[in-house]
Amino acid sequence: MGNRIFRAGLAGITVLFVGMLVWAMLSLIFMPRWSEVVDSTLSEEMLYSIRLSLTTSAVSVVVVMILAVSIGYVLARFRFPGHQLLRTVVDLPMAFPELVLGLCLLLLFGHDPLAGWLKKAGIDIVFSKTGIAIAQIFTAAPYATRVVYAAFRSINPRYEMVARSLGCGQWAAFLRVTLPMAKGGLFAGAVIAFARCMGCFGTVLILAGGTRMFTETLPITLYLNISYGNLAMAMTSGILLILISLAAIVTFEALNHEVVL
Amino acid sequence: MENKIFQTIWLALFLVLTGIPGLAWGGSEPLIIYSGAGLMKPMNELKNGFETRYNIPVQLIYGGSGELFGMIATRKAGDVFIPGAEKYVKDAIKQGLVRAEGQRSVCYHVPIILVPADNPGHIQSLQDLARPGVRVALADAKAAAIGKVANAILKKNDLLEQVAKNVVVRPSTTNQLLIYTATGQVDACIAWEDQATWGQAKGKVDIVRIPSVQNAVKTIPSAVVTFSEQIDKAQLFVDYIASAEGKALWKKWGFPIDKPE
């Protein structure tokens, strides 16, 4: 009897929560009329926003993966004082709100000395499309780093040692042994990074300003159109974001059985 | 046995999902007030004053005026609408969202040019906003009252197109304008006078006044939402914020009671 209550309780909580989650997502998807969704998707603003989201996220993912592989490798292979501290600092942005991260970046890139140097180099970050990518990179990097770090950790360092004993340099051993072995983890990291970049809101809003048809990515389209009281556009951008996340999660799960998190 | 567990779960689920709306939560329902985000400071104090005086709980929802407008239209609930400019109440009356009778204008809302402390862009007038190289922030005209008003002022002075070239960001709320000006990311923005009196802005921003012939001073209106289920209490709130006690609080936060020169 006790066992039955235990199982029924756990199953009940699971069904209730998952049911409400699915219900919430379906009610967003089925609330607007299909013609509204199609019209909104094909509107100039939405096409602009989709294109901008895809291009900035693609650039950001490349940079994020370079960062994640470097930092993940440093954390997985090198032993040094402050190792734990470094891990905490890298993980930190995951724990605080995106708006806070946005404000930090605004103060970093909008003030001297960095602002002055960037101006001399002709690079505009605050209120620009470059700013969108910077915001996405800082938001997504911790997630990708975590996944890549776990992938490197799961590979026995002995493979590299053997490679080096057979004449490989450290660079060659990394490139020809460790990197191919971590392939699944790297893909999973890139997928998560892409999903975070596409969905990144608060950081982009503060650093890039969220100006309509200029620094407008999909989550900003959602936010702006809520502000305008334009529900069809808002819901359509929401639906597009759900579909993108869904695709990302499915891909991640498909790759993830190779990676031990 | 498996069957029984699932029967129990489904029964529980059914009861929970159908039972919730019928449950009375007890206690009196709070008055829902939709307030423009720029009115946050006095509204918080007005809420406290009203609650102590009448013992009626109040819940404030802040947002851009357009956002609140959309919220009332979709939720068809809530009690009082207090946007940043009269136009929104007029539109709401036209659409049958708020009641024309009993509406009041509570105080004036004065547009000014807000510059970072020490005025690094040397802005003295509206004309200076059109000077090449000046970085200007204007609020999004569809989302925030101040955005619409700023456009109207610039248009009135034949500066709209010239200033548009200098606009680097169009955020959707007036508070975001303040952040960008206070942190020196822009040389100037057109904002409400009261914002300069807020605690966090003190010492970080300066005011450049717009002569009244060039300016467009607005009144802050308040009206009862048509869908309110406690119209009497809602009207009591509208009357309270326009009373002598209420007006003193508006004045404290920089909203003039008498029409400014």
CB contact residues (below 8 A), chain B span 169-208, against chain A? 169-173, 176, 179-180, 183-185
Residue B5 placed within a domain: no
Per the structure, how many domains does chain B have?
A: 2
Stretch A153-167: mean pLDDT, rounded? 91
Kindly report the nearest CA distance between residue B4 and chain A, in angstroms: 9
> CB–CB of A227 and B66 under 8 A?
yes
- In this complex, the residue of B8, B13, B179 whose CB is nearest that of residue A16 is B13
Confidence band for B261, pLDDT divided at 50, 70 and 90:
low
Kindly report the nearest CA distance between residue A7 and chain B, in angstroms: 8
> CB–CB of A15 and B140 under 8 A?
no
| The predicted structure's pLDDT at residue A230 | 83
Residue B260 placed within a domain: no
Amino acid at A33: R
B103 and B49 both lie in a single domain? yes
Query: Does the beta carbon of B240 lie under 8 angstroms from any beta carbon of chain A?
Result: no
3-state helix, strand, coil in chain B (%, to 5): 45, 20, 35
- In this complex, the residue of A12, A111, A228 whose CB is nearest that of residue B143 is A228
Amino acid at B70: G
Under DSSP, is residue B79 helix (H, G, I), strand (E, B) or coil?
A: coil
Q: What contacts A120, CB < 8 A, 6 or more positions away? A: none
B90 contacts B173 by C-beta, under 8 angstroms: no
Distance CA(A96)–CA(A155), nearest Å, equals 31
Kindly report the nearest CA distance between residue B33 and chain A, in angstroms: 17
| The predicted structure's pLDDT at residue B9 | 58
| The predicted structure's pLDDT at residue B93 | 94
> CB–CB of A206 and B12 under 8 A?
no
CATH number of A34-256: 1.10.3720.10
Mutate to test the interface with A, among B1, B2, B3, B5 (most CBs of A within 10 A): B5
Query: Does the pLDDT at position B77 exceed 60?
Result: yes
B104 and B115 both lie in a single domain? no
Instruction: Calculate ∠ Cα B132-B138-B144, nearest 5°.
Output: 170
- Residue A208: what are its φ and ψ, rounded to 5°? -100, -10
Token pair recorded at residue B123: 């802005």
Residue B235 placed within a domain: yes
pLDDT tens-place string over residues A60-94:
999 999 999 999 999 999 989 999 999 999 998 88
B117 and B192 both lie in a single domain? yes
Cis peptide bond prior to B116, omega within 30° of 0: no
Query: Does the beta carbon of B47 lie under 8 angstroms from any beta carbon of chain A?
Result: no
Distance CA(A147)–CA(A145), nearest Å, equals 6
Stretch A166-170: mean pLDDT, rounded? 89
For residue A226, the chain B residues in CB contact (below 8 A) are 67, 70
| The predicted structure's pLDDT at residue B190 | 95
Task: Tell me which residues of chain A have a C-beta less than 8 Å from any C-beta of chain B.
Answer: 4, 7-8, 11-12, 15-16, 19, 103, 106-107, 110-111, 126-127, 205-206, 209-212, 214-215, 223-224, 226-231
> CB–CB of A230 and B70 under 8 A?
yes
Query: Does the pLDDT at position A259 exceed 60?
Result: no
| The predicted structure's pLDDT at residue B40 | 86
Supply the DSSP symbol for B259: P
| The predicted structure's pLDDT at residue A257 | 65
| The predicted structure's pLDDT at residue A180 | 92
B114 contacts B195 by C-beta, under 8 angstroms: yes
- In this complex, the residue of A7, A106, A209 whose CB is nearest that of residue B171 is A209
| The predicted structure's pLDDT at residue A258 | 54
Q: Where are the domains positioned within chain A?
A: 1-30, 34-256
Mutate to test the interface with B, among A28, A100, A228 (most CBs of B within 10 A): A228
Confidence band for B176, pLDDT divided at 50, 70 and 90:
confident
Query: Does the pLDDT at position A220 exceed 60?
Result: yes
Minimal CA–CA distance to B82: which of B261, B248, B237, B247?
A: B237
Mean of pLDDT over chain B: 86
Nearest chain B alpha carbon to A23: B17
The DSSP result for B177-197, as a single string, is: HHHHHHTTSSSEEEEEGGGGG
Stretch B130-147: mean pLDDT, rounded? 92
> CB–CB of B172 and A103 under 8 A?
no
Query: Does the beta carbon of B15 lie under 8 angstroms from any beta carbon of chain A?
Result: no
Kindly report the nearest CA distance between residue A191 and chain B, in angstroms: 30
Residue B214 placed within a domain: no
| The predicted structure's pLDDT at residue B38 | 82
Distance CA(A192)–CA(B127), nearest Å, equals 48
Kindly report the nearest CA distance between residue A137 and chain B, in angstroms: 21
pLDDT tens-place string over residues A3-46:
999 999 999 999 999 999 999 989 888 888 889 999 999 999 99
Confidence band for B27, pLDDT divided at 50, 70 and 90:
low
For residue B66, the chain A residues in CB contact (below 8 A) are 227-229
> CB–CB of A127 and B171 under 8 A?
no
> CB–CB of B179 and A12 under 8 A?
no
Q: Which of these ranges, A136-150, A197-211, A240-254, B23-37, has the smallest mean pLDDT?
A: B23-37
Under DSSP, is residue B31 helix (H, G, I), strand (E, B) or coil?
A: strand
pLDDT tens-place string over residues B212-258:
899 999 889 999 999 999 999 999 999 999 999 999 999 888 888 88
**Bigger pLDDT: B18 vs A229:** A229
For residue A220, the chain B residues in CB contact (below 8 A) are none
B127 and B191 both lie in a single domain? yes
Stretch A141-166: mean pLDDT, rounded? 93
| The predicted structure's pLDDT at residue B200 | 63
B100 and B223 both lie in a single domain? yes
pLDDT tens-place string over residues A230-242:
888 999 999 999 9
B116 and B176 both lie in a single domain? yes
The percentage of residues in chain A with a pLDDT greater than 70, rounded to a whole number, is: 98
Range of the domain at B66: 11-15+23-108+219-252
CATH of the domain at B143: 3.40.190.10
Mean of pLDDT over chain A: 91
Q: Which alpha helices (H) appear in chain B, and where do they start and end? A: 2-19, 40-54, 65-75, 86-94, 145-156, 160-164, 174-182, 231-241, 244-252
Q: How many CB pairs below 8 A link A and B? A: 87
The interface predicted TM-score of the complex, written ipTM, equals: 0.76
Mutate to test the interface with B, among A224, A225, A231 (most CBs of B within 10 A): A224
> CB–CB of A229 and B183 under 8 A?
no
Residue B39 placed within a domain: yes
Stretch A192-201: mean pLDDT, rounded? 94
B34 and B120 both lie in a single domain? no
Stretch A167-195: mean pLDDT, rounded? 91
pLDDT tens-place string over residues B96-112:
999 999 899 889 989 99
Query: Does the pLDDT at position B125 exceed 80?
Result: yes
Provide the whole-model pTM.
0.78
Stretch B207-211: mean pLDDT, rounded? 93
Tell the residue number behind the tokens 């334009």, with chain if given.
A230
B187 and B137 both lie in a single domain? yes
Distance CA(A127)–CA(A214), nearest Å, equals 9
Tell the residue number behind the tokens 């699915």, with chain if given.
A22
